[in-house]
Chains A and B, each alone.
Chain A
Amino acid sequence: MSNTWLFYMSFAAVLLFIGLYCLLTMRNLIKLVIGVVIGAKGFGLALVATGLDKKNIILAQALAITFVVVEVCVVAMALALIINIYRKTGSLDVRRLTKLKG
């Protein structure tokens, strides 16, 4: 374990914390997607930092590129869902989505 690795992983943990906090507390649907993106930044940083420490940065980059593609697909899909929810309910509030409530 090198100090550089610890340094990058600490920042990745902070980013993940911010993303999780956003997911847990916010009520605006677009804010929730912003939280997902911030958390994903932390994951990407952790991947590349581990590759840098283990002298395997090219493999880490290949994995991180896959991760970025998946992230973009998730965000595009989520935003399309949000636009449809907005058309149905006229609001972006996550508390309005109670149609399935028993």
Chain B
Amino acid sequence: MLRYIIRRLLAIPLLVFGVVTICFFLAHNIKGDPLSSLLSFRQLGNPEIVAATKARWGLDKSLPEQYFIYIKNLLAGDFGTSFRTRRPVLEDIADRLPATLELAIVSLVIGSLAGIFLGMLAAYYRNQLIDDGARLFALIGSSMPVFWSGLILLFIFSVKLQILPGPGRLDPVTDIPPYVTGMFTIDSLLAGDIDKFLDAVRHMILPAFVMAWSMMGIISRIVRASMLDVLNQEYILTARSKGARELRVIMNHALRNVMIPTLTIIGFSFAYLITGAVLVETIFSWPGVGYYAVSSTRALDFPAIIGVTIIGATAFLVTNLVTDISYAFANPKIRLGR
């Protein structure tokens, strides 16, 4: 087991290196001269400006040379400068990370709680209407394009009923709370500003719900399966005949059993969180890393595209490792390392 963990951990830097290499060559084969993201039409026609810009951004060197420089800088923590915002990519991402994390965490909590609840409901009332209803609800959430559900809900609640605010993290007039974590909910609480806190929470309701709904499918499925595993066992059948108290104890036992693969659940959800981040942030104008990724892709901003993908992939690798390990713990029948 330990050997497995160590082996996986050691593999991460190599995989990241592979990711970086692939990203780099993808970015430089993008249909589009990087210069065009930096210069306008007039400037592109002026060879003097083109040469000066190439020199300034290091684009006059050969591809392998650019690659090595990129790796060297990466090791020093320099992800390059964004063509679009003219700031270091790392700074751009760091600025936007709290927004994404805030939304992701809230969505994860809501999604997990709801998913667990639905899964339990479905397992307990299996094959009855409630089972089907709960599973259908979760399934619909995972089957809908998340940018569409966001749009519909925005329209209904923000435009027609006007009980929830529109896109964005805060009302336009409101100042951002003093920076501590970058997450507006926490920061406004720390500053003692309840109005601002509620404002931030209100703005999170729709996007978080939309993201959570997309995760409920897989979460409730895992929970239901886990619980059924437990509930199917012999002693349940005997407990049922013995009376309520026994059954209550068993249910609690089943629930605790489900809690162990919680990390697993979170791990599986991670892919949904990233997908959600990209699409939901776009619909709700949520200035996080997902929104940044989309804007950068559209603008052919290579340093930004590579930066986001590398960081995203690294995070993904780490969470996958954690998921796999916790899954192994929870399910010892799985042979590790094949």
Note whether A and B form a binding pair: no
B residues neighboring A (CB under 8 Å): none
